[in-house]
Amino acid sequence: MADISSSGGPSMARSQSQTTKLALRIILYLALCIFALFYLMPLFVMITTSLKSLDEIRTGDLMSLPRDVTFDAWRSAWSEACTGIQCEGVRPFFWNSVLIAIPGVLISTLLGALNGYVVAQWRFKGANIFFALMLFGCFIPFQVVLLPMARMLGVMGIAGTIPGLVFVHVIYGLGFTTLFFRNYYVSIPDELTKAAKVDGAGFFRIFWSIFLPLSLPIIVVTVIWQFTQIWNDFLFGVSFSQAGTQPVTVALNNIVNSTTGVKEYNVDMAAAIIAALPTLFVYVVAGKYFIRGLTAGSVKG
Amino acid sequence: MSKWLQDNMPKIVLAPSFIAVMIFVYGFIGWTAWVSLTRSRLMPRYELDSFIQYERLAASPRFETAMVNLFIFGSLFIIIAMVLGLLLAILLDQKIRTEGAIRTIYLYPMALSMIVTGTAWKWILNPGLGLEAMVRGWGFEEFRFDWLVDPDMAIYTIVIAAIWQSSGFVMALFLAGLRSVDGEIIKAAQVDGIPHWRVYTAIIIPSMAPIFLSAFIVLAHLAIKSFDLVIALTGGGPGYATDLPATYMYAMAFSRGDIGQAASSAMVMMLVVFAIVVPYLYSELRTKDG
- pLDDT tens-digit profile of B153-183? 999 999 999 999 999 999 998 988 888 877 7
List CB contacts of A127: < 8 A, sequence separation 6 or more.
A118, A119, B10, B14
Partner residue facing A130 (CB), from B18, B245, B285: B18
Interface of B with A in 128-157 (CB under 8 A): 129-131, 133-134, 137
pLDDT (0 to 100) of residue A1: 39
Residue B276 pLDDT greater than 50, yes or no? yes
B232 vs A259: which has the higher pLDDT: B232
Q: Determine the angle formed by the axes of helices B154-179 and B99-107, rounding to 10 degrees.
A: 150
Q: Measured between beta carbons, which residues in chain A are less than 8 angstroms from residue B81?
A: none
| A55: closest chain B residue by CA | B129
Mean of the pLDDT values across residues B199-207? 83
User: Tell me, what CATH number does B84's domain have?
Assistant: 1.10.3720.10
pLDDT confidence tier of residue A252, bands split at 50, 70 and 90: very high
Residue A6 pLDDT greater than 60, yes or no? no
B93 lies in a domain?
yes
pLDDT confidence tier of residue B40, bands split at 50, 70 and 90: confident
**CB-based burial, A199-228: b 16+ in 10 Å, e otherwise:** eebebeebbeebbeeebeebbbbbbbbbbb
B228/A140 touch (CB, cutoff 8 Å), yes or no? no
Q: Measured between beta carbons, which residues in chain B are less than 8 angstroms from residue A36?
A: 102, 105-106
Residue B69 CB-density burial (10 A; 0-12 exposed, 13-18 middle, 19+ buried): buried
- In terms of Cα–Cα distance, which of B120, B219, B209, B213 is closest to B169? B219
Residue A61 pLDDT greater than 90, yes or no? no
User: How many Cβ pairs within 8 Å bridge chains A and B?
Assistant: 290
Amino acid sitting at position B17: S
Q: How many domains does chain B have?
A: 1
**CB-based burial, B121-155: b 16+ in 10 Å, e otherwise:** bbbbbbbebbbbbbbbeeeeeeeebbbbbbeeebb
Mean of the pLDDT values across residues B177-203? 82
Q: How far is B9 from chain A (nearest CA, A)?
A: 7
B222 lies in a domain?
yes
Q: Does B41 touch chain A (CB under 8 A)?
A: no
Residue B228 CB-density burial (10 A; 0-12 exposed, 13-18 middle, 19+ buried): buried
Q: Measured between beta carbons, which residues in chain B are less than 8 angstroms from residue A280?
A: 108, 111-112
- pLDDT tens-digit profile of A9-52? 455 545 557 888 888 889 999 999 999 999 999 999 999 999 98
Domain annotation for chain A: domains and CATH numbers: 12-70 (no CATH), 91-299 (1.10.3720.10)
B13 lies in a domain?
no
Q: Does B29 touch chain A (CB under 8 A)?
A: yes
B178 lies in a domain?
yes
Residue A8 pLDDT greater than 50, yes or no? no
Q: Does B248 touch chain A (CB under 8 A)?
A: no
Give the best residue of B92, B123, B145 to mutate against chain A (max A CB count within 10 A). Answer: B123
pLDDT (0 to 100) of residue A37: 94
Per DSSP, helices labelled H in B93-208 are 99-107, 114-124, 131-137, 154-179, 183-191, 196-198
Domain that holds residue B151: 60-289
User: Which stretch of DSSP H or E encloses residue A255?
Assistant: helix A248-256
Residue A261 backbone class (left: φ over 0; alpha: ψ -120 to 50; beta: rest): left
